[in-house]
Amino acid sequence: MNRRQFSRLTTLGLAAAALPPAGVPVSALPPASALTSEKTNPQRGAWFKEARFGMFIHFGLYALLGRSEWAMFLEEIPVGEYERLKDRFNPTEFNAEEWVRIAEDAGQRYITITSKHHEGFSMFNTKLSNYSIMHTPFGRDLCGELAEECHRRGMIISFYFSLMDWHHPAYQQSLKPRTPVSPEFIEFMHGQVRELCTNYGKLGAIWFDGGWDHTPEQWQAEKLMAMIAKLQPDTLINNRTGLPGDFSTPEEALGEPNKPGRLWENCMTITDNWGYDSRDGRYKSAGEIVHLLVNAVAGVGNLLLNASPLPTGKIDSQEAANLRDAGKWLKRNGESIYGADVFRPIYYDKTFTTAKGDKVYLHMLDWPPGVGCDIWQLNLQSARRAYFLETGQPVEFTHSHALGLRLVTRNPNPLPSPDTVVVFEGAEPLKQLEI
Ligand code: H79
């Protein structure tokens, strides 16, 4: 879905159900969890299902230390010492266009950036604190520049926002689990979310995190979500305020294929860390990225894959290269991913199916060149014809009770591909019978 189509969801009035009627006080409205439910407005999640693949970006003061975004906590760095990092924060090589282009080349359709992580440093132009990117040598609204570039290019922008805040003085007393959160902090934190929902145009989602030490009541999460629904009726909200919100967020794990209709997004690192860590050296290859994506989409979920900018503001070049390579596969096979639905649950690690209309896409993640294949328990007998998605070349297939689907045509790729997709036309998605 491009930006114009995304905006049309509002102009068509599809989001109206989420808007409070004029003159009704927020307290008299149904709970925000109901307001943001898909049942209220089935179109709310349309962009999310269409997009399927997004870029997470973890960027903050922690990049300067290069020891992940948890360094302040894990190394017990005192607030007074840690906050001095802002005097050195100057990612002069940051270029919003370059970041968006990397995401585009990777085939990603949305970007979710840390507007504020647990460290409490705002990467946007907040008027509510001096502990922000505006008060660094850099002095520019990085989230704002990125949002603007995204809007320009039809990339959807979402904001990650940490509820907990290791820096704000009013939060210090609330650091202990299950102690109340001070009213001053609630006002500040809700105020920052209001800024994010007011100053950066249309947002895809608000992605809360760090809420586990307190209850949704203590965060006043219902009120927070009602405010978002009012300011940004189409914006999805994740489940990390402790309320269900619109979508689930399994971290470094697959989602909820067993809950039909529930949106979910698998967030994953591309290295072994979220924030830049100079000790890391492990990169997921393009093939691994494709496998993770197919795995998520086959369970009707999304993949939000993290990229870590360096202190200079540049996205790690190896990450960018692997993303671009994964994008080459997506350019040829995107039809089987974007907006794809479930055909049947996952069966094997290396064989997945996705579906759209009367087409079923069989994803062969580990199909050696030159051989055919038997796939047990997969019945595509109703299909009229089959062909390779990349080339259109026909694929001959048979069925038998003993073996299920047999691909008679051998894999013609001279080299192993991360995923060879075979399209079956005329199959009956969701009405499959067990063999
Ligand atoms: O932003 C990323 C993480 O920083 C954040 N969520 C993703 C998207 C996150 N916050 N908390 N957690 C994840 C779970 C907490 C994990 C911990 Fe640990 C185990 C904290 C301390 C021990 C992982 C390992 C982080 C530091 C060491």
What is the average pLDDT score of the chain? 88
Q: What is the mean pLDDT of residues 245-267?
A: 84
Q: Which domains does the chain have, with CATH numbers?
A: 3-11+343-429 (2.60.40.1180), 20-336 (3.20.20.80)
Q: Is the CB of 293 under 6 A from ligand 1?
A: no
Q: With pLDDT > 70 as the criterion, what percentage of the chain qualifies?
A: 87
Residue 292 has pLDDT above 80, yes or no: yes
Residue 248 has pLDDT above 70, yes or no: yes
| Ligand 1 atom with minimal separation from the 69 CA | 4
CA 255 to ligand 1 center in whole angstroms: 18
Least confident of 163-167, 228-232, 249-253, 331-335: 249-253
pTM of the model: 0.90
Sheet holding 373-375, edge to edge: 373-375, 404-407, 397-400
Residue keyed to tokens 């390779």? 388
Confidence band, pLDDT 50/70/90 cuts, at residue 30: very low
Taking only the tens place, the pLDDT of each residue in 372-411 is 998 877 888 889 999 999 999 999 999 887 778 999 999 9
Residue 320 has pLDDT above 50, yes or no: yes
Q: Whose CA is nearest to atom 13 of ligand 1?
A: 210
Q: Locate 105 and state its tokens.
A: 């080349």
Q: What is the pLDDT of residue 348?
A: 66
Q: What is the mean pLDDT of residues 15-44?
A: 43
Q: With pLDDT > 90 as the criterion, what percentage of the chain qualifies?
A: 74
Q: What is the pLDDT of residue 18?
A: 29
Q: What is the pLDDT of residue 404?
A: 83
Taking only the tens place, the pLDDT of each residue in 197-225 is 999 999 999 999 999 999 999 999 999 99
Q: Whose CA is nearest to atom 1 of ligand 1?
A: 274
Q: Is the CB of 265 under 6 A from ligand 1?
A: no
DSSP-based three-state secondary structure for 157: strand
Of the candidates 427, 204, 426, 415, the one whose C-alpha atom is nearest the C-alpha of residue 329 is 415
Residue 81 has pLDDT above 90, yes or no: yes
Q: What is the pLDDT of residue 4?
A: 35
Q: What is the pLDDT of residue 42?
A: 66
CA 244 to ligand 1 center in whole angstroms: 20
Given a contact cutoff of 8 angstroms between Cβ atoms, the answer to whether 414 and 361 are in contact is no
Q: Whose CA is nearest to atom 18 of ligand 1?
A: 70
CA 374 to ligand 1 center in whole angstroms: 42
Residue keyed to tokens 């230390």? 65
* Rounded alpha-carbon distances, angstroms, from residue 55 to 7, 160, 313: 21, 12, 16
| Ligand 1 atom with minimal separation from the 306 CA | 8
Could you count the other beta carbons within 10 Å of the beta carbon of residue 263?
Answer: 24
CA 118 to ligand 1 center in whole angstroms: 10
Q: What is the mean pLDDT of residues 229-235?
A: 96
Tell me which amino acid residue 170 is. A
Least confident of 29-43, 104-118, 178-192, 242-256: 29-43
Confidence band, pLDDT 50/70/90 cuts, at residue 9: very low
Q: What is the mean pLDDT of residues 187-203?
A: 98
DSSP-based three-state secondary structure for 361: strand
Q: What is the pLDDT of residue 255?
A: 67
Q: Please give the distance of CA 73 from its chain centroid, rounded to a whole number.
A: 25
Strand spans (E) along 257-379:
263-268, 302-307, 341-342, 351-356, 359-364, 373-375
Select from 123, 209, 305 the residue to mutate for testing ligand 1; criterion: most ligand atoms less than 8 Å from CB. 209
Q: What is the pLDDT of residue 403?
A: 76
Q: Is the CB of 274 under 6 A from ligand 1?
A: yes
Q: Whose CA is nearest to atom 9 of ligand 1?
A: 210
**H or E segment to which residue 432 belongs:** none
Backbone angles phi, psi at 190, to 5 degrees: -60, -35
Q: What is the pLDDT of residue 13?
A: 26
Q: What is the pLDDT of residue 174?
A: 84
Q: What is the pLDDT of residue 347?
A: 57
The better pLDDT of the pair 191, 258 is held by: 191
Q: What is the mean pLDDT of residues 80-107?
A: 98
